[in-house]
Every structure is written in C-alpha cells, then in structure tokens.
Amino acid sequence: MDVGSPAFKSNARRALDDRHLQEALGHARSGFVDKRAAAIEALPEFEALRAAARDIKNHTLAHLDLYLEAYEEKVTETGGQVHYAETASQARDLIRDICLRVGAQTVTKGKSMIAEEIGLNEHLAESGVEAVETDLGEYIIQLRHEPPSHIIAPAVHVTKDQIEAEFRRAHTNLSPERDLTEPTALLGEARAILRRQFQTAEVGITGANFLIAETGTSVIVTNEGNGDLTQMLPRVHIVLATIEKITPTLEDVSQILRLLARSATGQDMACYTTFSTGPRRPGDPDGPEEYHVVILDNGRSAMVGSEFQDMLRCIRCGACMNHCPVYQAIGGHAYGWVYSGPMGAVLTPALIGIDQAGHLPNASSFCGRCEAVCPMKIPLPRMMRHWREREFERHLSPTTYRWGLRLWAFFAKRPRLYQFVTRIAMRALGNLGARKGRFRRLPLAGGWTGHRDMPAPEGQTFQEMWAQRKGTP
Amino acid sequence: MSTRDAVLGKIRRSLGVTGNEIPRNATVDDRLRRAPKGVIPARGQLPAAERVALFVRMAEKVAASVARVAQAKDLPAAVVDYLRSNNLPATLRMGDDSLLADLRWDETPIVVSRGAAIDDDAVGLSRAFAGVAESGTLMLASGSDNPTTVNFLPETHICVVKAEDVVGDYEAAWDRLRAMFGKGQMPRTVNMITGPSRSGDIEQTILLGAHGPRRLHVLIVG
C-alpha cells in the first residue's frame, strides 16, 4: 500500500478538522477503554498472565528458527503446504500463483493486516482476481477505497450515515427505497451480499493470530464468523502470516488468548477462536481441499536480537491506540500506513524505514499509557525513543530541532551556568508578564503560543524550590 | 538458496546461532513434548455442579441462551420447545454424532437433514466435546460427526454439551482433545464458540448476527 507517513503533520492537521472523523472517534474512545477496564477488573490473574505471555513470546523468539521448523514439519505431516516469503512482493506472487493455478476469479478474505501490508488486493486485481473483504469493517473501507484506520476496527473512522451512503452507492441492484436507517439493516444487507461471495469464491485467504508449532495449526480470532466462512467454504484456504506469529503449544496460545480479547474489546473471549490444521480429512463432509500457509518475513528477522525485538511480541489487540491521546485525537489514517497509534509508531519505521516514518515515533507525549495497557508488556515509549535516537544519528531531524538540542545540552552539562541563566531568564520573563500573568506571543516559542498562551513564570525556578525544600517532606 | 533457507538464515544470524546447538534443540523439544500449563484462573476451578452453573452464567453473559435436560432422550422435546417459542422453522441440520443422530426425531414434527450445512438451512444442531466454564465457551471438533458448516451457516445454532464435559479452563479441554486424537494431533478444525456472531464495526455498537448465527442456544445434558 502507498506510504503517507512522511505527510504525518499535514495528515494530522486535516484529521483534527474532519467533523465526521471526530464524531466517529468519539464512539471509539468511550467503548474500548471502559470495556477493557471492566474485563480486566474481573480477572485477578490478568497481571500474572501478562508476565507469562511476555515470557512465552520471549522464549519463542529466542528459539524462533527451531519452532518454525517444527511448525513446518507438522503442517506438512497433516497435508498442508508451507511457503516462505522474504519480501512483500514474494508473498504477493506466491498467493497470486496459487489463485491462478486453481483458476480463481474471486477470493474471499478474512481481515488480515499482513495482506494490507503487502498490498495483496491490488496485486490480485492486476491478474484479474477479485478479492472481496468479508469483515464488515474491511468491507466498508474496501467500498470506500481506503486503508484501515485501526487494526481491529478498520472502519472506526466511518459514521453510520457514511456507511449507508456507501451501501446505496455500491449495492445498485437493491431497491433505492429500502430503509437503512437502523444499523441492523446495514448489517443484514452486508450479510446477504457477502453470503453469495462466500459460496462463489474458489479461494479463501485469512491471516493468523497464532501458528502453533506443536500441532501445525493456524488460529484466527474473530467476532463475526466471516473468517470461518472464508476458510471453510472455498476449495482452497491460504493463510498469510508473519514469522513472529509462531507460538509453541496449545497451552501457550491459551495463555495469550486470555489477554487478547480482554485487551481488544473487553470481551473475555472473542466469539470465534478457530484452530485449522491441514486440509479436510478423509470422510470430512466440509472444509478446504488445499491448505497453504505463506510465512512472511518482510523485515522482521532483522528486528530479532535488536533493540526492537520486543515489538515482535505484539498480538495486535489495539489497546495501545485505544488509550493513546494522539491516536484519540487524529485517528489512524494520519499515520499514513497500515499500522497506527503507538504500535504503528514503533513497527512502521522498522518495516518501511525511519526516513519515511520519522514523524511517527515523534507523535507521542510519552505519557506511557500504551505500555501500561499493553498485554504483552512491550516497552513502546522506550522503543519510540530508540527511533528518535536513530533519526538524530542519521541527521534526519530538522536543523532547528538539532541546534536547539545542542544549545540545551551545552547548558545542561554546566549546572551552575544553567541555574544562573534560567534564574535570570525566569525573573526577566516574570517581570515582563507580571501584569497579565501570561504571554500571547513569545519569540522562538511560536509552536507553543500559536495554540495557547504561555503562563508567565511566578517567582523561583524549580531547582531553587527543590534546593529550599530539600530535607522537608 | 531457497527462500526458506534465506528466512531461517536471517533469523539465525540475528540470534547468533546455527540451529544445531544441542541445548537449544533440547529446550524446544521439551516444551513441545510437555506443553507446560501456565497461569490458570481460579474462576473456573470449582466442584462439578458450580462449574456447570458458572458455564451457564458466562454463556448467558455473551447472549447465548441455555437450557438443561436430565437425559439425552429429552433433547428432541427441548429442541421442539426452543424452536416453537422462538417462532423458528421445524428443521434441523446435523452430522452423524451418535448422541444426536440416534435420538427419536421421528417422534417430533422436526425435519432432519444430515451432513454438511448449506445456505438454506435455518437451524443447525451440533455437539461440543467440551464446555469451558471460565468464559462460557463451547469447543467443537470437525468431522462427519459434527461438520463445521453446521456451526456457522444456519441463522440458529443449537449446541449440545454433556454436563460431565464442562471443564473449568481451556487447558482441561485440550487434555480431553488429546485423549481423543493423540498428543500433537488435531482434527481439521477446532472451534471455540463464545456466544452468537456479532460485529461492532458500525459505530462501535455491538450487533448480533454478523456472518455466523444470530442465535446460539446451548442444551446441557445431565
């Protein structure tokens, strides 16, 4: 998919002015956060599970090569086929070739962020294969020709009225007089239309939440059941997953499942957690005849063993973005690629380069809520700092910012001088602003005063007060 | 070099390993063989009767309906009741599971079809090999006994589980599955089902009946 991350600043400004988007984000803010809190409150073992899940993933990543081999062996043993892809383009070609070999004209798709990452739909379309998204949110954004704005709620930025307008535009064979005011009517219409697609598709493509080494199983977690229809009705099931989805055993997956839905939507479990192993067995009345797994690297192997390895623990629950004040204000599209919010700010630079995605790790107030709510205990703020350091080292940050930092560093390394200068500066500012108590404009501080007043300093500096109060509790 | 070797080679370079280290291989083999259990919530660790009661509570919390029958032979009457009281057609799609297929459906007005479900089926009946009390989750194994399509295509899904098959946690359900299929072996599909299908994609409001069943009715035997 096209990269819009370099335009993050103008994207964000546009998002703040978008009335529809702000209305839609309002729904998300209250829903996700409160429901998650209630679900976690009801499970006293949640913290212990977080630690256990972190350890499982760390152990798996440290033995990733061996678990991948064990997984592959089991898939092959059960009649499935494993294909490896180093790059997005290899993965696209592998999937296209399978589709063309079986003469597919339509493929149905369960929600897959990896498929978004590699731009699969466009690639299939070039070969005359139509990919139909079946997750309601993905279906909506496919009609609107948009990328997802949230990893678990791809159409979170769209209002009900906009969905109705889109359905009326796309479903031209239905009566224009039909009543679509109720959300259930919209859902019913999508259900009926997609049912036909499930039946006609020759290939179903899903992502995977886990690949289980013990059994050679792929796991999807959904609420709608679209992923299940996608993988059980067509003749061929293709799973597209990245290397870090490997998890050792059914028990290990069960630990992480207890965190996933609670963190994502505040459910104890999603409606459907489905374990698929190989193609249909002799005597099975349903299920696909072919089962393929495409395992994609696309830059992740380089994160193994680096300061960004912890990011590979991510289970794509979306809790970090649901709780992020920046995401809450601007939504997902401003981030300009598949992954948004704090997890996107760390993952995107690793996958498309810091030169393209440099704004993302800077779009943070370092409030730390993302790390606090992450079920996998990923130190997101720390990794955003790592990216900022790399950006600085590679001279990608703006000149004024770099000079500003140098100037500050000069004084910060000379504490006496620092204290002297700040004391003088604060007194001077205090005197200048004493009458109104605030400044509407300040030289060199336009970034601040452009949006709000700067309060005039009152009395002492922090360090002076600290020195005085030292020893008194 | 194959893509497979290239990907594995990159991972090994990043980890600083060759893949032949004996202790690493032993660690992996051991975990896969033992499948150690982790943190198990206390919530589901209850005596049998309370465990079933918790399962019922949790299933109802996720918008499933639940009824109990004393014996398997009472199932047809319970199904008739449910279909009548919900104004649903007297048809059933089911697989070959002997617990269900051997019942006297001929003594009811219900028209039974066997095998994989098709789009026109209104009601599916299947049997779960386990119910998990901690979250009200049903677990089903695919095959001719319980075709997976029966759980998803009909608008109404009725699922039978024996009270003795209601366990406290997922790990206990995996133990049962391994007893049925063998360690490291799985049927083509295992479904964990927790309530009827739903979507929150329209303004984050939960609506039931997205692509799967709109209704999930659980019948507990025993």
The pLDDT confidence band at residue B74, using thresholds 50, 70 and 90, is: very high
**A183 vs B207: CB contact, 8 Å cut-off?**
yes
Q: What is the DSSP string of A133-179?
A: E-SHHHHHHHHTT---SSSS-TTTT--HHHHHHHHHHH-TTS-TT--
| Helices vs strands, H then E, count in chain B | 7, 12
Dihedral angle over CA of B176, B180, B183, B185, nearest 10 = -120
Instruction: Compute the average pLDDT of residues B186-212.
Output: 93
Beta carbons of A252 and A303 less than 8 angstroms apart: no
Measure B156 CA to nearest chain A CA, in Å: 13
Q: How many residues are listed for chain B in this entry?
A: 222
Residue B145 in this model has a pLDDT that exceeds 60: yes
**A159 in reach of chain B (CB within 8 A):** yes
Residues in chain A within 8 Å Cβ distance of B2? 84
Beta carbons of A226 and A134 less than 8 angstroms apart: yes
Q: How much is the pLDDT for A18?
A: 92
**A64 in reach of chain B (CB within 8 A):** yes
The strand order across the sheet containing A106-109 reads A81-85, A290-296, A236-242, A203-206, A106-109, A130-133
pLDDT, tens digit (0-9, with 9 covering 90-100), for A283-335: 999 999 999 999 999 999 999 999 999 999 999 999 999 999 999 999 999 99
Residues in chain B within 8 Å Cβ distance of A267? 62, 194
**A243 vs B212: CB contact, 8 Å cut-off?**
no
Q: How much is the pLDDT for A472?
A: 62
**Integer Cα distance of A337 and A304 in angstroms:** 22
Which of A15-19, A284-288, B177-181, B217-221 has the least mean pLDDT? A15-19
Q: Give me the total of CB pairs closer than 8 Å, taking one residue from chain A and one from chain B.
A: 268
**B188 vs A32: CB contact, 8 Å cut-off?**
no
Flag residues of chain A having pLDDT under 70.
471-473
Q: How much is the pLDDT for A429?
A: 84
Q: How much is the pLDDT for A134?
A: 95
DSSP lists the bridge partners of residue A238 as: A205, A292
**Integer Cα distance of A292 and B90 in angstroms:** 39
**B38 vs A49: CB contact, 8 Å cut-off?**
yes
Say which CATH class A33-296 falls into: alpha beta
Q: How many residues are listed for chain A in this entry?
A: 473
Residues in chain A within 8 Å Cβ distance of B148? 228, 232, 286-287
Identify the helix (H) or strand (E) that includes residue B221: strand B215-221
Q: Where are the domains of chain A?
A: 33-296, 406-469
Q: What percent of chain A has pLDDT over 90?
A: 78
Count how many Cα atoms sit within 13 Å of the Cα of residue A146 in the half-sphere of its side chain.
Answer: 20
Q: How much is the pLDDT for A422?
A: 87
**B119 vs A199: CB contact, 8 Å cut-off?**
yes
Integer angstrom CA distances of residue B129 from A223, B48, B134, B146, B164: 21, 16, 16, 10, 10
| CATH numbers and ranges of domains, chain B | 1-34 (no CATH), 46-221 (3.40.50.10420)
- Using CA coordinates, name the residue in chain A closest to B63: A271
Place of tokens 């005597």: A283
Q: How much is the pLDDT for A76?
A: 98
Q: How far is it between the farthest Cα atoms of chain B?
A: 69
**A217 vs B152: CB contact, 8 Å cut-off?**
no
**A234 in reach of chain B (CB within 8 A):** no
Beta carbons of B158 and B125 less than 8 angstroms apart: yes
Residues in chain A within 8 Å Cβ distance of B157? none
Beta carbons of B126 and B140 less than 8 angstroms apart: yes
Measure A287 CA to nearest chain B CA, in Å: 8
Q: What is the DSSP string of A56-117?
A: HHHHHHHTHHHHHHHHHHHHHHTT-EEEEESSHHHHHHHHHHHHHHTT-SEEEE---HHHHH
Burial A100-121 (b: 16+ CB within 10 A, else e): eeeebebbbbbbbbbbbbbbbb
Task: Give phi and psi for B211, each to the nearest 5.
Answer: -110, -30
Full-model pTM: 0.93
**B203 vs A217: CB contact, 8 Å cut-off?**
no
**A25 in reach of chain B (CB within 8 A):** no
